[in-house]
Every structure is written in structure tokens, then in C-alpha cells.
Amino acid sequence: KAGVTQTPRYLIKTRGQQVTLSCSPISGHRSVSWYQQTPGQGLQFLFEYFSETQRNKGNFPGRFSGRQFSNSRSEMNVSTLELGDSALYLCASSSGSLNTEAFFGQGTRLTVV
Amino acid sequence: AQRVTQPEKLLSVFKGAPVELKCNYSYSGSPELFWYVQYSRQRLQLLLRHISRESIKGFTADLNKGETSFHLKKPFAQEEDSAMYYCALGTLGGGADGLTFGKGTHLIIQP
């Protein structure tokens, strides 16, 4: 079974630009969650999508948004990038039942300059 | 809001020695606790969850609701245990915060 795939693996963007990250979950998984990982704050929950609907949301500004498609693939968008958005963005998929195991992707390393 | 605290950023022990990675949580409801591990150059993966009450790779963790702790233990450390370990809290009932992670403990097993 293929694992969670995130593209691209690395991105360099300029302050003020926007960026879209992609996540393909494990086949059959309907839940996709996104996390931001930084050295200072660690892993922080961004949001979760289940069957194309945002089910949960963390404490991030509205510049961070996402969506999920009918095939469960998910995208995350960050608009008006700030230097502080530089981080590793991790995607995790699960079956969607409450608190089942989350399978993580390798992450997308975003650098904002 | 829930919180997970891992007090040790770095823990170094010798091979064969016992290991205990500490995790304390703060949550008013009924918690679901996990340990995730990240080996060098690998992705984050589930090590164990409290509801399973199982031992994985010799590791065990007991949920102590009185002390709000979920420490990870192994009686005899092996070199391949060197990794980053993250304690995570999920909220039964589908809380709005997803998984809340601690900041992680870097475990180094010295030969």
C-alpha cells in the first residue's frame, strides 16, 4: 500500500507570495490533517478534512486554508506569505474514525525569503 | 485548551540501560494518548497508543490519569532506539484541536 505522498518536497517563496501544497492520502483513507512543524513551536495542528469538509481547525490565521477533493487528495494554501511561515508542513491521513492512527507524509519544506 | 509537555529535549543513555521518556498532559476531558517516533531520515510514525495496552519494540506506556502522565519506558535500551519521540494527545469526541503534540525528546543510545 502506497504511503502518504506530499508534493513538492521543497519550496522557496518570496514574502507576500502565495503557495499551494498537495497531499495524497493512503488509498481508502478519508481524513487528511495538516500540521506545521517549526523548531520553536514544534508540531501544530492546522486543520483536518474529512469527506471534502473541514471537520476541525487549529489556531492559525485565515491566510492558511485548505480543501479536499472527492478522491480525498488535499491541498493547503498559504496566502501573503510571511517569513515566519517557513516550516515543514506535514500531512497525515487516517481512516477518519476518531483518534485512529495517523499516517504521516515526508513533509514539504517551505522557505520564505 | 489541551497541552502536552515533554520536559526533556534530549535524553542520552547507554545501551542496555533502562529508558524513560516523560510526558505530561493537560486536558479536562477523557484523553487519548499516543507516542509517535521519527527515526533518522524517516517519516513520523505511530509507536503505540494507550488504548491498545500493547508493547511495541519493547516499549510500554501507562496512562496515569491521577498524575496526568503517559511516560514511555523500555527496560533495556538498544542502539536502534535512537530517534525523536513525540507524545501526542487526542480528544475523544473529535475535539477541534486535532492531535496536540509535545515538542519531542531526542533519545540517543550510546554504545
What's the pLDDT tens digit per position in A69-92?
A: 999 999 999 999 999 999 999 999
**Selected residues 27-86 of chain A with any CB under 8 Å from a CB in chain B:** 33, 35, 42-45, 47-48, 55-58
Question: What CA–CA distance (Å, rounded) separates A86 from A109?
Answer: 8
The residue length of chain A stands at: 113
Distance CA A1, CA B22 (A): 33
Kindly report whether the peptide bond that precedes residue A8 is cis, defined as omega within 30 degrees of 0. Answer: yes
Is the CB of residue B74 less than 8 Å away from at least one CB of chain A? no
**pLDDT reading at B45 higher than 80:** yes
* Beta carbons of B75 and B65 less than 8 angstroms apart: no
Average pLDDT in chain B = 90
The pLDDT assigned to B98 comes to 76
DSSP string covering B39-53, please?
Answer: -TTS--EEEEEGGG-
Q: Which amino acid is at A84?
A: G
Contacts A57 to B, Cβ<8 Å = 96
Q: Answer yes or no: do A56 and B98 touch at CB < 8 A.
A: yes
What single letter denotes the amino acid at residue B37?
A: V
Longest dimension (CA), chain A: 39
- Give the pLDDT confidence score for residue A20 in this predicted structure: 98
pLDDT in tens, A12-63: 999 999 999 999 999 999 999 999 999 989 999 999 999 999 988 889 999 9
Comparing A3-7, A39-43, A70-74, B69-73, which segment has the lowest mean pLDDT?
A: A39-43
Whether the per-residue pLDDT at A5 is higher than 90: the answer is: yes
* Average confidence (pLDDT) over B56-68: 92
Q: In this complex, how many residue pairs, one in chain A and one in chain B, have their CB atoms less than 8 Å apart?
A: 54
Contacts of A48 in chain B (CB under 8 A): 98
Minimum Cα–Cα distance from A97: chain B residue? B94
> In the predicted model, what is the mean pLDDT of residues B45-73?
90
Beta strands B83-91 and B72-74, pairing class: unpaired
DSSP-derived pairing of the beta strands A108-112 and A10-13: parallel
Give the C-alpha distances (Å, rounded to integers) separating B64 from A56, B53, B56, B97, B105. Answer: 27, 13, 19, 22, 20
Dist. CA A6–CA B17, nearest whole Å:
38
| pLDDT > 60? residue B41 | yes
B87 in Cβ contact with B34 (< 8 Å):
yes
At B51, give phi and psi (nearest 5°).
-70, -20
pLDDT of residue A55: 86
Q: Closest partner residue to A45 among B45, B86, B98, by Cβ?
A: B98
| pLDDT at res. B1 | 78
The pLDDT of residue A12 is 98
All three cell numbers of A33: 490533517
